[in-house]
């Protein structure tokens, strides 16, 4: 059975969750979480490495024991330790962990104090107002739990984009090996680079009489075949991800790509433009009466309604059609436009590699400069730096810059924004730096006015330059802070500050609508990896996908500029 890196990471996360519910050693729990992050972000398919007789290269946090477990999972699809833990707890306990705001500590409290073993029991306890009296909960948390349960009942499971990518790329590679297959494209929200993906829509062209649908339905990862016909089939993978495949005539392929890529609202708007011109637009083409007049390419579909080609990431009916009509579509930023990365960590705080190793990996990724931005002292769990340790690191960076070729290291810090809006380090330390990245790492639930004022006050510091992951969200596990983002964007404009688009797949923060807001207000966005290992630069592609959804051009992104210009922008106004 094919096992993807995401599957291995998910098993390690489950082990960590159940160990935490059990009250196990915190260092052991952290080891499994670190291992999940390492294998989940590894750029090569681990099982394919093993199948070729190769070993896993040294990854941060993966010692002999965890390496053996990686081998066990790729060979069996599971892990004996996970199976033992499942026997200790009802299987439904792990479902509780999927609810926003219910981490392992809270699940343990519910399990121990109220004997909540399943989602249904959680709902009964919340409705009976039994949860609010537990330590660390309260009436507001109880209300949020009920809201999450109500939302959950009406939603199907969605997968983070980076996770869906692993399944999509493996399946596309499998389908392309079928000799009769010509083109294979994943459409839908995946092609629009949405933060999460509900299912995969795959379009294929192939020679007549091919057995592509039969081969698709016999894919090793298919858990259940929902439908199988000559031109369409649908399966559910073992991961729970549904995949729909459609075999399209070559002359209809562009129309099908258009139909299955755009949001419902975008497609309806385009069909109406067609109707105004006496045309019918569907997945098979553009028709005037019974005559097909376009559809072989996507561009031809837009051309018949007098529009230029609209990139997939913009197809949300958020003004892209009007912009296209006016000839004002943005020339969207690409991964190749990035020249630097202004937020990453080394072993000095919670990263896994040395500064030198991070710099060389960034150079290998095609970057010209990086900024090392360790956590500040308040974040003790990340071994944050105090002023003395920070000054020592600056000396190290200066020495490295004298020896490295083709990559420059900027001196920075990711300083905590405290609840009152002050910064975690004094100006005497910050003034020595090339840039200061400010971030909220606690008190996420402050009321809108207080949370906004907190950030606005932090931005008043003369050394503050980039607001990291502004909303503070973690997709599927923590809602973004309640902020007046327009006030923050306009304050950044007045102060000469910048906003970060954090490319970590669990963040992708700024959200796309706020990227667009920043662009309209003239505030530059910095697309950063927030890398904690040499592997994390690969996540920049997801950040660029989000930037494109936010209408950003290269000129709207801070780190598309060369080193000299970036340093000038970072030092302005100090």
The pTM of this model reads: 0.83
pLDDT digits (tens, 9 = 90+) for 306-364: 999 999 999 999 999 999 999 999 999 999 999 999 999 999 998 889 999 999 999 99
- Candidates 116, 124, 109, 127; CA nearest to 90 is 116
The position carrying tokens 């698709």 is: 216
Check whether residue 357 and residue 433 sit in a common domain. yes
Compute the distance between CA of residue 218 and CA of residue 245 in angstroms, rounded to an integer.
13
Check whether residue 429 and residue 478 sit in a common domain. yes
pLDDT tier for residue 549 given thresholds of 50, 70 and 90: very high
Q: How many domains does the chain have?
A: 4
Check whether residue 478 and residue 362 sit in a common domain. yes
Check whether residue 400 and residue 419 sit in a common domain. yes
Give the list of residues 6+ apart from residue 259 with CB closer than 8 angstroms, or none. Answer: 267, 281, 282, 283
Check whether residue 353 and residue 300 sit in a common domain. no
Q: Which tokens go with 501? A: 């688009």
The CATH number covering residue 23 comes to 1.10.150.110
Lowest mean pLDDT among 60-69, 191-200, 370-379: 60-69
The CATH number covering residue 297 comes to 3.30.210.10
Q: Which tokens go with 309? A: 């080609």
The CA-atom distances, in angstroms, between 391 and each of 212, 370, 396, 399, 574 are 61, 18, 9, 13, 19
Give the list of residues 6+ apart from residue 463 with CB closer than 8 angstroms, or none. Answer: 427, 430, 431, 433, 436, 574
Check whether residue 227 and residue 199 sit in a common domain. yes
Q: ∠ at Cα 292 (289, 295), nearest 5°?
A: 135
Check whether residue 461 and residue 523 sit in a common domain. yes
Check whether residue 381 and residue 397 sit in a common domain. yes
Task: Give the up-direction half-sphere exposure of residue 18: CA atoms within 13 A in the CB hemisphere.
Answer: 22
Average pLDDT over residues 283-299: 95
Burial 136-164 (b: 16+ CB within 10 A, else e): ebeeebbebbeebbeebeeeeebbbbbbb
Helix (H, G, I), strand (E, B) or coil at 162: helix
Compute the distance between CA of residue 298 and CA of residue 296 in angstroms, rounded to an integer.
7
Q: Judge whether residue 151 has pLDDT over 80.
A: no
Which domain covers residue 108, as residue numbers? 5-153
Lowest mean pLDDT among 22-26, 277-281, 463-467: 22-26
Q: Which tokens go with 500? A: 């970060």
pLDDT tier for residue 209 given thresholds of 50, 70 and 90: low
Q: For residue 91, what pLDDT is reported?
A: 61
- Candidates 344, 348, 394; CA nearest to 372 is 344
Check whether residue 418 and residue 560 sit in a common domain. yes
- Domain stops at, among 119, 153, 187: 153
The position carrying tokens 């780190």 is: 559
Average pLDDT over residues 518-536: 95
Q: Which tokens go with 54? A: 């190769």
Compute the distance between CA of residue 150 and CA of residue 159 in angstroms, rounded to an integer.
19
pLDDT digits (tens, 9 = 90+) for 225-234: 999 988 899 9
- Domain stops at, among 218, 247, 276: 247
The CATH number covering residue 531 comes to 3.20.20.140
Check whether residue 129 and residue 238 sit in a common domain. no
Check whether residue 57 and residue 124 sit in a common domain. yes
The CATH number covering residue 219 comes to 3.30.460.10
Helix (H, G, I), strand (E, B) or coil at 186: strand
Q: Judge whether residue 498 has pLDDT over 80.
A: yes
Check whether residue 451 and residue 524 sit in a common domain. yes
Q: For residue 152, what pLDDT is reported?
A: 65
Share above pLDDT 90 across residues of the chain, in percent, rounded to a whole number: 69
Compute the distance between CA of residue 230 and CA of residue 208 in angstroms, rounded to an integer.
10
- Domain stops at, among 197, 213, 247: 247
Q: Judge whether residue 155 has pLDDT over 60.
A: no
């Amino acid at each position: 059975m094919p096992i993807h890196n995401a599957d291995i990471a998910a098993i390690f996360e489950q082990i960590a969750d159940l160990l935490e519910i059990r009250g196990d050693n915190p260092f052991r729990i952290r080891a499994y979480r670190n291992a999940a992050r390492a294998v989940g972000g590894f750029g090569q398919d681990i099982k394919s490495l093993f199948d070729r007789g190769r070993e896993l290269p040294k990854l941060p946090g993966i010692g002999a024991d965890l390496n053996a477990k990686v081998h066990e999972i790729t060979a069996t699809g599971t892990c004996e330790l996970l199976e033992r833990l499942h026997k200790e707890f009802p299987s439904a306990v792990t479902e509780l962990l999927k609810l926003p705001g219910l981490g392992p500590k809270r699940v343990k409290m519910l399990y121990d104090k109220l004997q909540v073993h399943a989602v249904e029991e959680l709902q009964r306890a919340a409705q009976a107002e039994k949860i609010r009296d537990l330590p660390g909960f309260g009436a507001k948390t109880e209300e949020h739990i009920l809201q999450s349960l109500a939302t959950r009942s009406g939603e199907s499971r969605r997968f983070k984009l980076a996770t869906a990518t692993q399944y999509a790329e493996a399946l596309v590679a499998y389908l392309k090996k079928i000799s009769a297959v010509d083109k294979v494209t994943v459409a839908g929200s995946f092609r629009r680079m949405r933060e999460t993906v509900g299912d995969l829509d795959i379009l294929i062209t192939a020679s007549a009489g091919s057995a592509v649908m039969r081969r698709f339905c016999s894919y090793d990862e298919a858990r259940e075949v929902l439908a199988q016909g000559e031109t369409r089939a649908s399966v559910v993978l073992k991961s729970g991800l549904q995949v729909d495949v459609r075999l399209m005539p070559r002359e209809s392929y562009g129309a099908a790509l258009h139909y299955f890529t755009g949001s419902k609202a975008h497609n309806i708007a385009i069909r109406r433009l067609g109707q105004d011109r006496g045309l019918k637009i569907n997945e098979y083409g553009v028709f005037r009466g019974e005559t097909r007049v376009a559809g072989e390419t996507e561009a031809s579909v837009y051309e018949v309604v007098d529009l230029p080609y609209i990139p997939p990431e913009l197809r949300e009916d958020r003004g892209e059609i009007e912009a296209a009509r006016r000839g004002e579509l943005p020339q969207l930023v690409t991964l190749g436009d990035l020249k630097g990365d202004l937020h990453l960590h080394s072993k000095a705080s919670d990263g896994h590699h040395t500064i030198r190793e991070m710099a060389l990996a960034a150079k290998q990724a095609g970057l010209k400069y990086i900024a090392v931005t360790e956590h500040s002292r308040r974040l003790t769990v990340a071994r944050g730096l105090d002023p003395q340790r920070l000054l020592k690191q600056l000396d190290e960076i200066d020495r490295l810059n004298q020896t490295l070729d083709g990559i420059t290291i900027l001196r920075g810090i990711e300083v905590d924004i405290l609840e009152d809006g002050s910064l975690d380090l004094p100006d005497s330390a910050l003034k020595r730096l090339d840039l200061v990245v400010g971030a909220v790492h606690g008190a996420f639930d402050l009321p809108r006015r207080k949370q906004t004022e907190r950030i606005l006050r932090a931005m008043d510091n003369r050394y503050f330059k980039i607001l990291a992951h502004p909303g503070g969200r973690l997709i599927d596990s923590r809602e973004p802070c309640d902020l007046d983002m327009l006030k923050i964007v306009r304050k950044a404009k007045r102060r000469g500050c910048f906003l970060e688009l954090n490319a970590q797949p669990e963040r992708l923060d700024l959200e796309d609508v706020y990227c667009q807001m920043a662009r309209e207000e003239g505030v530059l966005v910095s697309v950063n990896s927030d890398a904690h290992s040499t592997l994390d630069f690969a996540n920049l592609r997801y950040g660029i996908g989000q930037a494109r959804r936010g209408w950003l051009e290269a000129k709207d992104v801070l780190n598309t500029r060369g080193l000299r210009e970036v340093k000038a922008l970072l030092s302005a106004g100090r």
